[in-house]
Amino acid sequence: MSNAIYAETPLLAVREREIEVKSSIASRLENRALRWYGQVSRMGEERWPKRILEWSPRGRRRRGQPAVKWKTSITETMEGKGLKEGD
């Protein structure tokens, strides 16, 4: 009975596959960003990547710049995965 209600069409299968691929790409990007953040956070204070990660520019952002900072997106990703700073 349920097969009659929900008939799998080739177009539906393609859309589901696209969603799976996009979600796997997004999760891979999140995982790589978290790995990079972990590596940089363990670096010494004299290293440039660490300096730039903690640097805060003065003034206002120009029009067209992203509203979310990279570190903010990393923090949100960590919260979503149940991680804390230092894990």
pLDDT at 46: 93
Q: What is the per-residue pLDDT across 6-58, written as a single tens digit (0 to 9) for each?
A: 566 666 666 777 777 777 888 888 889 999 999 998 999 999 999 988 888 78
> Smallest Cα–Cα separation from 74: which of 47, 54, 44, 46?
54
Instruction: Tell me if the pTM is above 0.85.
Output: no
pLDDT at 4: 55
Query: What is the pLDDT averaged over residues 70-85?
Result: 86
Other CB atoms within a 10 A radius of the CB of residue 18 amount to 10
pLDDT at 62: 75
pLDDT at 44: 92
DSSP state of 24: H
Query: What is the pLDDT averaged over residues 55-78?
Result: 81
Task: Report the distance separating Cα 80 and Cα 2, nearest Å.
Answer: 34
